[in-house]
Structures are given as structure tokens and as C-alpha cells.
Amino acid sequence: MYSDTIDKFADNGMHKAETLRRRPLAFLVGSALAGAYIGFGDIILFTVGAHADPAWAHLVMGSVFAAALTIVIFAGSELFTGMTMYMPLAVMRGSSTVTSLLLVWIVCWIGNLVGAAVLALLLHLAGGGVLLTDGSTTFYAIVTAKMNAPSLALFARGILCNWLVCLAIWMCGRTENDTAKVFLIFWPIMIFVASGFEHCVANMFAFTMALFGPHPDTITWYGAFHNLLWVTLGNVVGGGVFVAFAYWTQDSRLVRSAAPAAKAASSVGARGSSH
């Protein structure tokens, strides 16, 4: 039932590992682009959210942030949170190794951080936009809450976020219709942002931007590290377990291969009981 989609994303993971091995700079640049694209989503999110009616702010912010993943998917780039689904599928299918998985994750995460930081620096040099001017109070309040949240809460929010992000990518992989893909991206992303879940790459941009600005004492480098550590781990579980592993266990090929083994075991047991 899901074999074609699993093969598509497992092949994707295999190609990512191969690109990193053969053309590391290309992979790093692609990762930096993804970090910047997610950062653009953050910019519009905080821009419209700063002056939105509080009753509708979360819904509006979630709706506009969907643009970020839409750009990532249609423009093409290397997003860490998507890799948490691609690479486990490649490993489970046997077309990649755990070592390759870890290398892809590490380099992609670093590349996303570089792209997010470069975009934050450019926006800072451009005047900071709404984030560092008339919307700074809201922006700093949100960043402060993220940096000072409990570890377990951040971990759980990271799981919930990337479960939805990878679900959006998974659904896009099951259709060739570009218009359908836009709608399929919108709903899970709107849910995760409106619900206050945590995306490590989005946070990379927000934290860098806040630290570049005249931030309050509640915003610190330690707070950024604390958040990114637990959110990244949660994102890995959300994409790798709740999407990749969950659908891999439903692969019809696993069911077919398990049936002969179960039948053989039953036959052996029957012969044993007859003695």
C-alpha cells in the first residue's frame, strides 16, 4: 500500500548520502538555502503576528508560515527535518548506512544553521524589519518563552512539530499534482505553528535574529543551545519514528515476507508436537 512512497523517499535518502559523499559543498549550499527559506517563513510569521488581533494571531501566523515549506519543496533544498524521514527509510530498506545517516543529519543541520544565520544577519543589516522595530516586543517575548521552556516540553513539542512537517512531505510524495501539494503542505504546517510546536530550523533563524538585536537579558546563547538540543532530538523522533518507521511497518512487502516465515514456524511447531 505504501511501497512506492517508501521507495521514493528511501531513494531520496540514498541520493542525499551520495551527494554529500561526492559533492559535499553542493550539499552544504543546498542545506544553507533550506535554512534561509525557513527563515523567510519566520520573517513573515513574526511580521504579521506582531500586530494581529490576539484572537486570530496564532491562526494567521500558522497560515503564512506554510509558505516556508512550500518554497523548500518546490525550489529544492536540503532541510534537516525532512532528512529525519528520508534517511531512516533508506537505512531500513538497506540502501544506506547508519554512518551515512548521521553524516547527512550533522552536515544538513549545520548547513541549515548557516543559512538561517546569514539571512538573520542580512535582515539585521537591513534594519531588522518588524522583528526588531515595532514588533520587537512580541518577537522577544516569543523567543524568551522558547529559550526558557522545560526540556521535556521542548522535546515533546519537537516530536509533534516534525510529525506534522514530515506528514506534509509524505503526503506530497503521494501525488504528482502541484496544486494538491500546496494544499497538502498548508494544513499540517498551519497546525504545528498555530499549536506552538517547535521546529529546530525555524528556531535557528529566530534565535540568531534575536541575539543580533538589542535583546533583553532573558535571551541568551545558553537558552538557544538548550532549546535547539531538545527540539532537534524531538524533531528526529517525530520524523524518524512517527512517520518513517510507522509507515515502514505498514509496507505490504513486510507483510508478504513475514507470512512464509510464520507458516514455516507453524509447520515446525506442528511437527515437534507430533513426537
Distance CA 28, CA 60 (A): 32
Q: CA angle, 222 as apex, 158 and 151 as ends, to 5°?
A: 35
Distance CA 116, CA 205 (A): 5
pLDDT tens for the 275 residues of the chain, in order = 788 999 999 999 999 999 999 999 999 999 999 999 999 999 999 999 998 998 899 999 999 999 999 999 999 999 999 999 999 999 999 999 999 999 999 999 999 999 999 999 999 999 999 999 999 999 999 999 999 999 999 999 999 999 999 999 999 999 999 999 999 999 999 999 999 999 999 999 999 999 999 999 999 999 999 999 999 999 999 999 999 999 999 986 775 555 454 454 455 455 554 44
C-alpha cell of residue 196: 506552538
pLDDT at 18 (0 to 100): 97
Q: Render the chain in DSSP notation, one character per residue.
A: --HHHHHHHHHHHHHHHHHHHH-HHHHHHHHHHHHHHHHHHHHHHHHHHTTS-TTTHHHHHHHHHHHHHHHHHHH----HHHHHHHHHHHHHHTSS-HHHHHHHHHHHHHHHHHHHHHHHHHHHHTT-TTTTTTTHHHHHHHHHHHHTS-HHHHHHHHHHHHHHHHHHHHHHTT---HHHHHHHHHHHHHHHHHTT---HHHHHHHHHHHHHS---TT--HHHHHHHHHHHHHHHHHHHIIIIIIHHHTT-HHHHHHHHHHHHHHHHHHHHHHT-
Packing angle between helix 151-172 and helix 178-194, nearest 10 degrees?
170
Structural domains of the chain, ranges and CATH numbers in brackets: 3-257 (1.20.1080.10)
Distance CA 258, CA 275 (A): 27
Longest C-alpha distance within the chain, in Å? 85
Distance CA 151, CA 43 (A): 26
Cα torsion through 189, 193, 195, 201, rounded to 10: 100
pLDDT at 30 (0 to 100): 98
Distance CA 234, CA 158 (A): 4
pTM of the entire predicted model = 0.91
pLDDT at 137 (0 to 100): 94
Q: CA angle, 232 as apex, 104 and 132 as ends, to 5°?
A: 110
C-alpha cell of residue 80: 534537516
CB-CB contact of 104 with 17 (8 Å): yes
- Cell 548557516, located at residue: 114
CB-CB contact of 192 with 62 (8 Å): yes
Distance CA 93, CA 96 (A): 8
Packing angle between helix 98-125 and helix 3-22, nearest 10 degrees?
70
